[in-house]
Amino acid sequence: MILEHADIRITPGRNAEFEEAIQRGLSTVIAHAKGFRRAQVQRGIESTERYLLMIEWETLEDHTVGFRNSPQFADWRAIVGPFFAAPPVVEHFALTDARA
């Protein structure tokens, strides 16, 4: 399992519109992508125009090759892209054996 972590900054004052759009994009586009497992979105408290999008993929390539090179990626960006104040910062993480 790979975790995609996207740090998203949106245009001020558009929170409600963005939250509706990202939910729509997740349910209509991302959820149907090969290798998608689950997603979660969190909004910043101190910086209310900052969001963390976390998506679990089966493999890194499911996201970086399969999804990003598909027509679905353009559909996704058409839904959420208009709200971006800057390009999202996207990184990938792998689970370690450390547990609490």
Residue 100: the pLDDT is 77
Three-state SS at 83? helix
pLDDT tens across the length of the chain (100 residues): 999 999 999 999 999 999 999 999 999 999 999 999 999 999 999 999 999 999 999 999 999 999 999 999 999 999 999 999 999 999 999 989 887 7
Residues 38 and 53 sit within 8 Å (Cβ to Cβ): no
- Cα distances from 15 to residues 6, 9, 49, 91, in angstroms, run 17, 10, 7, 23
Write down the pTM of the prediction.
Answer: 0.93
Burial letters 23-43, b for 16+ CB under 10 A, else e = eebbeebbeebebbeebebee
3 state SS of 9: strand
Distance CA 74, CA 54 (A): 19
